[in-house]
Amino acid sequence: MLEQQRCALRTPPKNDSGPRARFFMFGKMTNDLIAKSAIEKKLLELINPLTEDMGFELVRLRLVRGKEITLQIMVARPDGFINVDECAELSTAMSALLDVEDPIIDTYSLEVSSPGIDRPLTRMKDFEEFEGYDARLETVKLIDGRKRFKGTLAGINGSEIMINIDEGTIGLEFEWLAEAKLILTDELIKEMLKQRKVNQNFDKQKFDTIETERLEEIE
């Protein structure tokens, strides 16, 4: 079992009573890794300006439907670090905004969290920042008979994500990607802990309990 620190804050379900606002049509979104579905992209357009005004970056947004509906928002600072207090501030501000706009018809819960060490890679700059670290990439369609690629990130070349795999270095167009995520390795953990240690905003006492996660290997 590997352990990692992750701050997360979950607010109670939203009430589905009362009048409801309706979304207008937004401009075309170009990054499908941050928000995939039409409603997620609309929510991104609504929430992102607030996130940026508060000094954070929105890494990923998902509206998860199961027994309960949860709006999961993953946020980081430009330097990559966010603590529980900041999660709480963001959650309060986002909750107030969503209460006014009321974009989701059904009852739902809001969950604001940090990306974690084995974070998803959703923007071109992520692949530059984590060059040299191991990652798993999955494409929307088959490429040379496969969708899954595991290897070491080798930066970007124009609109291509470069990755060193067993067969050599290949380039995958960013728009081909369906999912991308860092692999939790000892090297990555050491580097992230080192960066947090020297970062003046990092206070380990402000992070919540350790979340344990087993990573599944992509075959």
Tens of pLDDT, residues 150-171: 999 999 999 999 999 999 999 9
Low-confidence residues of the chain, pLDDT below 70? 1-31, 80, 197-219
Say yes or no: 15 and 77 in one domain.
Answer: yes
The reply to whether 86 and 131 lie within a common domain is: no
**Which domain covers residue 11, as residue numbers?**
2-113
> SS3 for 151?
strand
* Whole-number pLDDT of residue 26: 33
Q: Are residues 100 and 10 in the same domain?
A: yes
43 vs 41: CA distance, rounded Å: 5
Pair 99, 171 in one domain: no
Name the residue type at position 75. Answer: V
Number of domains the chain contains: 2
Angle between helices 84-101 and 38-53 (to 10 degrees): 120
Alpha carbon distance 168, 146 (integer Å): 15
Sheet of 8-10: strand order equals: 8-10, 109-113, 69-76, 57-65
Residue 210 lies in a domain: no
Position 16 scores a pLDDT of 46
Kindly write down the DSSP assignment for every residue of 7-41, as one continuous string: -EEEPPPPP--S----PPPPPPP--TTT--SHHHH
Give the pLDDT of residue 11. 54
Segment 84-121, tens digit of pLDDT: 899 999 999 999 999 999 899 889 999 999 998 899 99
Which CATH number covers residue 137?
A: 2.30.30.180
Give residue 150's pLDDT: 97
Terminal CA-to-CA distance of the chain, rounded, Å? 19
Phi, psi of 63 (to 5 degrees): -105, 105
Tell me, what's the pLDDT at 217? 37
Per-residue tokens: 16: 């589905």
Quick one: which H or E segment has residue 170? strand 168-173
Sheet holding 168-173, edge to edge: 168-173, 160-165, 146-157, 134-143, 177-182
* 59 lies in the same domain as 146: no
The pair of three-digit structure tokens given for residue 107, joined into one six-digit string: 């009852």
- Residues 135, 109 share a domain: no
Task: Output the pLDDT for position 7.
Answer: 54
